[in-house]
């Protein structure tokens, strides 16, 4: 209940900070792109609209996750609201999890509205394909993971550094499959071990990216979906545990 | 008769912060000992930067000591359960500005696990107590500094705490606000609550506290009941009179101005401080004989300010 109270307050803050106005930008982009493309006679118009739609859902989501996420904890300390909050009967872990859940709630609403606009455009054009929902679901899992990275960094660092770290992690996360290839190519046991080690430890965000398959109307196998979901949630849980452990020892100066 | 359990016990507390550019460490609290009994109003005094806020933050687990022991209500201070019994108002409080006063108190009520009806009843009660009932519908971003201080006091009292910790509660308040805050604190005291507050406004401390401690060099230098700390002996007298000029009076009274000091000389009235009883008697005689008119004589005893200045600056 206390976690939910903090989550609800975080959600309220995001709403009253007008973060969801970003959605308006998304809707305009989506409808605009679809109208603009319909003027052209490109054969793969449908794929382009779906591609733009899924990519912007992911991009807008990640932008909110990172830039709101890194300020979430920092702002509470900077503005000293944390003094009265933490002196109430709550654990620091409840504070972190509450802030996290609040932002995830914002992201969920954000994603739901963007998906609705996207689907409306598709339905209107007669291009609707419900398999896209699977790709959007995994995008949501990815956002949960990225938010956890942002919270972890912001539990000990400043927003600017945390954004840098989180963006770096996000990019590496989408390229980490390359480490596997590199492990096969490099010479020497140590180098191989390092490549393999980082491949295992860093998040593999490509596992959660089924957007390309969905755009091309390919099946998203259930087992793969389930594995990716489980992977994303487990990774998130570990990141949150680390964030709580770091935050527990922190001095609020 | 059994000895009551202290509300707060601190022994050998130490805390250091990273130095400038993270080079070295600067020790702020250097072995602080303190005990507060139930029902007491304790004032922690000290200059800016002397470590008052650091001490309060450690009690509330906002920062962690390097060494030493803190116990609240007889057990380890870190227990979350203690915070049901504690209220805290930080210095220059700042809250979620997008919430209205009422929403803010409701949110904090939820952190105590109160149900909806109880939250509402408690919020209205504390709003009335701090005189904010009619402005509780405004968002906090529209609050003045004094209003934030009041809503801050409201959140500190929402759980009807046994132990209230206030960091510079009077700062930012106008004279009326200060009087009202003083009344709130005295009311808490009447109802048997224990109050621990830090301040550098000595007149407030003198009016409210049972006991004070002066923080200097990271330790409590002087500590005790005001009645025991301040000497009841008269330190000096202030004489106000109208009539002959001070110099003329002095030449007649004491053959010089030994033991007398002219404090102010406004038109026909003069204010003189006298440190010696014999000189006082001569001065009064001479005012009469020189055709002057005595307006008032008042005795000055040692004040908390005198003690504070003596302790802090060694004068």
Interface mutation target, options A87, A91, A92, A247, chain B, most CBs of B under 10 Å? A87
- C-alpha A169/C-alpha A187 separation (Å) is 26
- State residue B315's pLDDT score: 58
The verdict on B86 touching A (C-beta cutoff 8 Å) is yes
* Structure-block tokens of residue A80: 């000293």
Selection from B234, B247, B240 nearest residue B293 by Cα: B240
Size of interface A-B (CB pairs under 8 A): 76
Better-predicted residue by pLDDT, B154 or A193: B154
Distance from CA of B111 to the nearest CA of A (A): 5
- C-alpha B63/C-alpha B54 separation (Å) is 8
Distance from CA of A157 to the nearest CA of B (A): 15
Neighboring chain A residues of B156 at a CB cutoff of 8 Å: 84
Calculate mean pLDDT across residues A224-231. 94
Tokens 């019994």, located at residue: B85
Neighboring chain B residues of A88 at a CB cutoff of 8 Å: 83, 108, 111-112
- State residue A47's pLDDT score: 84
pLDDT tens digits, residue range B117-133? 999 999 999 999 998 99
- Chain B CA closest to residue A253: B63
**pLDDT confidence bin for A67, thresholds 50/70/90:** confident
Q: Assign domain B8-228 to its CATH superfamily.
A: P-loop containing nucleotide triphosphate hydrolases (3.40.50.300)
ipTM of the complex: 0.85
Calculate mean pLDDT across residues A100-117. 92
Across the interface, which of A12, A89, A252 has its CB nearest the CB of B63?
A252
Domain ranges of chain A: 2-248
Q: Do B17 and A90 touch (CB under 8 A)?
A: no
Confidence check: pLDDT of A219 > 60: yes
Share of residues in chain A with pLDDT > 70 (%): 96
Taking the whole predicted model, whether its pTM rises above 0.80 is answered as yes
CATH 3.30.1490.20 holds for B234-302: no
Across the interface, which of A17, A80, A88 has its CB nearest the CB of B94?
A80
Q: How many residues does chain B have?
A: 315
Q: List, as one string, the DSSP characters of chain B.
A: -PPPPPSEEEEEEEEEEE-GGG-SEEEEEEEEEEEE-TT-EEEEE--TTSSHHHHHHHHTTSS--SEEEEEETTEETT-GGGGGSEEEE-SS----TTSBHHHHHHHHHHHTT--HHHHHHHHHHHHHHTT-GGGTTSBGGG--HHHHHHHHHHHHHTT--SEEEEESTTTT--HHHHHHHHHHHHHHHHTT-EEEEEES-HHHHHHH-SEEEEEETTEEEEEEEHHHHS--SEEEEEEEEESS-HHHHHHHHTSS-TTEEEEEEETTEEEEEE--HHHHHHHHHHHHHTT-EEEEEEEEE--HHHHHHHHHH--
Across the interface, which of B61, B81, B93 has its CB nearest the CB of A84?
B93
- State residue B254's pLDDT score: 54
Across the interface, which of A5, A81, A252 has its CB nearest the CB of B95?
A81
Q: Do A2 and B113 touch (CB under 8 A)?
A: yes
Across the interface, which of B61, B90, B92 has its CB nearest the CB of A84?
B90
- State residue B128's pLDDT score: 93
Question: pLDDT per position in chain B (315 positions), as tens?
Answer: 567 889 999 999 999 988 766 778 888 899 999 999 999 999 999 888 889 999 999 999 999 999 999 999 999 998 999 999 999 999 888 888 889 999 999 999 999 999 999 999 999 999 999 989 999 999 999 998 888 999 999 999 999 999 999 999 988 788 888 888 899 999 999 999 999 999 888 888 888 889 999 998 888 888 888 878 777 777 888 888 888 877 777 766 555 556 778 888 877 788 888 888 888 888 888 888 888 888 888 888 778 888 888 777 765
pLDDT tens digits, residue range A127-141? 888 889 999 999 999
Domain ranges of chain B: 8-228, 234-302
The answer to whether B96 and B82 have CB atoms below 8 angstroms apart is: no
Confidence check: pLDDT of A41 > 70: no
Q: Which of A50-59, A218-227, A236-245, B262-271 shows the lowest mean pLDDT across its residues? A: B262-271
- State residue B252's pLDDT score: 60
- Chain A CA closest to residue B96: A81
Distance from CA of A73 to the nearest CA of B (A): 13
**DSSP label at A126?**
T
Question: Phi then psi for B56, rounded to 5 degrees?
Answer: -60, -40
Calculate mean pLDDT across residues A1-9. 92
Beta bridge mates, B27: B16
List, as ranges, residues 167-196 from B with C-beta within 8 Å of A: none
- State residue A139's pLDDT score: 95
């Amino acid at each position: 209940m206390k976690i939910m109270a903090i989550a609800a307050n975080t959600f309220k803050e995001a709403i009253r900070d007008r973060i969801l106005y970003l959605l308006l930008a998304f809707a305009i982009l989506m409808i605009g792109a679809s109208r603009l493309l319909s003027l052209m006679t490109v054969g793969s118009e449908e794929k382009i609209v779906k591609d733009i739609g899924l990519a912007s859902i992911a991009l807008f989501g990640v932008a909110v996750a990172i830039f709101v996420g890194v300020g979430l904890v920092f702002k509470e300390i900077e503005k000293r609201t944390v003094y009265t909050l933490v002196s109430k009967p709550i654990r620091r872990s409840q504070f972190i999890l509450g802030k996290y859940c609040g932002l995830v709630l914002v992201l969920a609403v954000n994603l739901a509205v963007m998906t609705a606009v996207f689907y409306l455009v598709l339905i209107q054009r007669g291009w609707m394909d419900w398999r896209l929902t699977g790709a959007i679901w995994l995008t949501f899992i990815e956002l949960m993971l990225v938010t956890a990275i942002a919270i972890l960094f912001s539990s000990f660092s400043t927003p600017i550094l945390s954004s840098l770290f989180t963006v770096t992690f996000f990019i590496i996360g989408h390229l980490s499959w390359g480490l596997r290839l590199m492990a096969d190519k490099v010479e020497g046991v140590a180098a191989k071990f390092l490549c393999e080690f980082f491949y295992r430890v860093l998040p593999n965000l490509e596992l959660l990216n089924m957007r390309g398959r969905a755009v091309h109307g390919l099946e998203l196998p259930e087992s793969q979906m389930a594995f990716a979901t489980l992977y994303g949630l487990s990774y998130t849980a570990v990141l949150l545990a680390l964030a709580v452990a770091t935050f527990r020892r922190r001095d609020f100066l | 008769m059994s000895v009551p359990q202290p509300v707060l016990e601190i022994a050998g507390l130490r805390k250091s912060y990273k130095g400038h550019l993270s080079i070295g460490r600067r020790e702020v609290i250097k072995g602080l000992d303190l005990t507060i009994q139930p029902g007491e109003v304790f004032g922690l005094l000290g200059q800016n930067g002397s470590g008052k806020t650091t001490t309060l933050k450690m009690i509330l687990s906002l920062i962690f000591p390097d060494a030493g022991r803190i116990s609240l209500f007889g057990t380890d201070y870190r227990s979350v359960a203690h915070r049901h019994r504690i209220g805290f108002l930080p210095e220059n409080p700042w809250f979620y500005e997008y919430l209205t006063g009422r929403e803010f108190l409701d949110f904090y009520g939820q952190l105590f696990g109160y149900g909806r009806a109880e939250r509402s009843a408690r919020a209205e009660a504390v709003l009335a107590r701090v005189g904010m009932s009619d402005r509780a519908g405004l968002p906090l971003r529209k609050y003045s500094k004094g209003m934030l201080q009041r809503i801050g006091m409201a959140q500190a009292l929402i759980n009807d705490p046994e132990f209230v910790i206030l960091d510079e509660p009077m700062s930012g308040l106008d004279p009326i606000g200060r009087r009202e805050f003083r009344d709130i604190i005295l009311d808490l005291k009447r109802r048997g609550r224990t109050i621990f507050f830090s301040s550098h406004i000595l007149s407030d401390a003198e009016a409210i506290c049972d006991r004070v401690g002066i923080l200097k060099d990271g330790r409590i230098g002087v500590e005790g009941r005001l009645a025991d700390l301040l000497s009841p002996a008269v330190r000096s007298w202030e004489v106000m009179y109208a009539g002959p000029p001070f110099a003329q009076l002095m030449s007649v009274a004491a053959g010089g101005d030994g033991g007398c000091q002219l404090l102010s000389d406004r038109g026909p009235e003069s204010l003189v401080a006298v440190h010696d009883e014999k000189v006082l008697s001569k001065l009064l005689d001479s005012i009469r004989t020189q055709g002057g008119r005595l307006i008032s004589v008042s005795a000055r005893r040692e004040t908390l300010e005198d003690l504070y200045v003596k302790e802090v600056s060694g004068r």
